[in-house]
Structure 1
Amino acid sequence: MAGGHHNPPTIHMDPALLKWNNMVINRHKYFRWTPRTAWITFAYVVVVPSLLGTAGYMTDGKWDMRGKRRGDMISEF
């Protein structure tokens, strides 16, 4: 219906883009745990969520935005 699927592509792909695309697709085959990748994984899996959770726990219930008007205080205590 749309056509053009059986013809070879008329635009030649850049070899560097093809190599990069192949690397992205097959990244799981060549991944190795190194100290750098271990620390990055630890930071994103443990440190960042714990910091966000601590900040959320410390500020839970401190501000109430519902039903406030100009001049009202948003802090509860």
Structure 2
Amino acid sequence: MAGGHGGFEPVKLDPAIERWSAMRENVFQHFKFTRRATRQVVTWGLIVPGIIATIAMTFDNQYDWAGKQRGSSLLKGTPAKPAPKEEE
């Protein structure tokens, strides 16, 4: 459908995009751990997930959204908001 048949090319190829695509396909053959690459791997692979995990574990099981009324605390273990008194 989109390929060229019989000398007809419906899609114009951009040489810069083709070079970039070839480079991305073969990056594993030329990759080297430099100081910058190592710093990025440590930052984005260890430190950032560690911070997110720490935050998640800190706030895990502290809040209870089930059955809460407007104005009552979302913290677990706090008493529910008292029902308004009806005047007789």
Asked if these proteins are the same fold (TM beyond 0.5), I'd say yes
Pick 1 or 2: higher relative contact order, CA cutoff 8 A, min separation 6: 1
Larger Rg: 1 or 2? 2
Stretches of structure 2 that go unaligned for 5 or more consecutive residues are 78-88
Cα distance, 1:11 vs structure 2: 2.7
Structure 1 residue runs without a partner (length 5+): none
Identical aligned residues as a percent? 24
What does residue range 1-77 of structure 1 map to in structure 2 within 5 Å? 7=5, 8=7, 9-76=9-76
Instruction: Answer 1 or 2: which has greater helix percent.
Output: 1
Q: How many residues align?
A: 75
| Runs of 4+ more than 2 Å apart | 3-6, 8-12
Give me the TM-score of the superposition, normalised by structure 1: 0.80
- Evaluate the alpha carbon distance shift between residue 43 and residue 4 of structure 1 in structure 2; reply closer, same or farther with a 3 A threshold: closer
- Mapped partners of 2:56, 2:47: distance in 1: 14
Cα RMSD (Å): 2.0
Q: TM-score if structure 2 supplies the norm length?
A: 0.71
CA separation in 2, counterparts of 1:4 and 1:49? 42
